[in-house]
Amino acid sequence: MAARHPWRRRLIRLTALALVLLIGVALWRHVILVPPAPPTPLPPLTGQIDLIELDKSDRRMTVYREGTPLRSYDVALGFAPEGDKRQQGDGKTPEGEFRIDRRNDKSQFHLSLGINYPRPEDRARAAAQGVSPGGDIFFHGQPNKLPDILRRKGDWTAGCIALTNAEIAELWRVTPIGTRVVIRP
């Protein structure tokens, strides 16, 4: 019977091949040519926050008001982020509990919020080792020489916490002096 209708087998194969090609073209147009829709922008933060928590291992920072998480951000850290900051130049982001103690809108990075590092215990530890503890640890945006739409990849700061320019602008608006900061390993 198969020998009597060889054209049927060819027709089935050609139909199957055409169907596979049609599906392939449709997928290619959808995935390659039509970019996915951008995520819906979050509403801007309003009011003030009272806590910034940073998990260094996840490179993730969350801001809170009265125990409620409001927003999370991906961050870049110091160029050698493993472990607690011990001395100037080690490329580490400090760990522990801090406070926002200064604001700088004239920074070499787009806006910056400073933390009270080094604390007395950081100074004492560094003095016992005969080194400088370092200082000037900030949450900040990208280098001013970099266009706003770009973001440096990886961990690149000297120990600070870097966000996009839009993110630091949002954080700048809602973070008062005295805001508690917790940085975990």
Facing residues of 97 across strands?
182
Other CB atoms closer than 10 Å to residue 129's CB: what's the count?
A: 11
What are the beta bridge partners of residue 73? Answer: 61
pLDDT at 150: 65
pLDDT, position 109: 92
Q: Which pLDDT score, from 0 to 100, does residue 11 have?
A: 80
* Fold exhibited by the domain 51-184: L,D-transpeptidase catalytic domain-like (2.40.440)
Residue with token string 């900061």: 181
Give 141-181 pLDDT, tens digit per residue: 999 887 766 677 889 999 999 999 999 999 999 999 999 99
Q: What does the block give as tokens for 90?
A: 């080690």
Q: Residue ranges of the domains in the chain?
A: 1-36, 51-184
What is the structure's pLDDT at 6? 74
pLDDT at 174: 97
- Residues in the chain where the model's pLDDT stays below 70: 1-4, 26-36, 148-150
